Amino acid sequence: MFPAIIENYDAPTSVHEALQALAKRGAETHFVAGGQSLMQAIKARVVSPNSLIDLQHVSELKGIELKKGSVRIGAMTRYREIAADERLDGAYQALRDAASHVGDRQVRNRGTIGGSLCWNYIAACMPPTCIGIGASIDLVSKMGRRSLLAEAFLQGPLETARRDDELVVAVTLPAPPMQCGSAYKKWGLVTDALPVVGVCASIELGDDLRCRAARLAVGGLATGPRRAEAGEKALMGVSATDTSAISSAAETAAASIETQTDIWADAEYRKKLIETLAREVMASAFARAERGKRS
């Protein structure tokens, strides 16, 4: 299909100009980040904006910065840049896992982390990954700035807490402890397919190399990405060598999450996928956290 008529197109070069354009164009205006989801929706007339504001020339929304261990990822940073940045290894390596397998090569070259989070598609890798690693989403409007944890920003599928007058400018991550590792893995029908289920785990170890903090998040759910807190609690005090305890925590996580039946998988199969993927990403997160301890 051809899109409905789009009356206005703006290409700002700064956040200030982007907010000015938004105020000028008013309702039915959409920001365009990488365009990998939005433009398909426009062509199918799932959405029919009157105006588009293209963010690709706003340099302050791009790039990955590390300051005293904390990380700021501009909303227009593309998947390929995240996938290639070894500075994220360890505590935030799940981001590289996810970005390395989003869509196909074209999507990874054009798609952005901010665009994915704002679209919040049911089958997306970045939403559960950002929840799993404890990311915050930074927003700005003419009224000022605010920051929301990913689990507060991300709501049901295609829904977020972003207000109509706001622009997402960055994803921020706090300076992690040394003994921390994260991992993400998805399962799709073919290689690099959209995930039927995706799971992210983040684990912090104590001096005894046992888990003292954990986060576990699941995507591909009809209700939107969410944490599996029962699985997190089951990991407390567990070490990387406690394979039976890790398996039990994965089983607990899967049992605690309501899953749906659709054309891709039935509810019980989804639970098995969650259990299997959770066990695998927990093991990877433990290994990455232990490497942080040795270094």
pLDDT, position 191: 73
Number of domains in the chain: 3
Residues of the chain with pLDDT under 70: 1, 293-295
1 within domain boundaries? no
236 within domain boundaries? yes
Residue 31's CATH number: 3.30.43
225 and 255 together in one domain: yes
Q: What is the dihedral of CA 14, 159, 130, 32, to 10 degrees?
A: -30
Name 13's Cβ contacts closer than 8 Å, sequence gap at least 6: 57, 58, 59
pLDDT digits (tens, 9 = 90+) for 212-241: 999 999 999 999 999 999 999 999 999 999
pLDDT, position 293: 57
Does the global pTM surpass 0.85? yes
245 and 141 together in one domain: no
Residue 92's CATH number: 3.30.465.10
Out of 173, 205, 226, pick the residue that ends a domain. Answer: 173
Strand extents, DSSP E, 59-210: 64-67, 70-74, 136-141, 144-149, 167-173, 180-187, 197-205
Residue 294 structure tokens = 């040795």
277 within domain boundaries? yes
pLDDT, position 81: 97
pLDDT, position 295: 44
Please tell me the number of Cα atoms within 13 Å of 151 on its side-chain side. 12
138 and 188 together in one domain: no
pLDDT digits (tens, 9 = 90+) for 119-136: 999 999 999 999 999 999
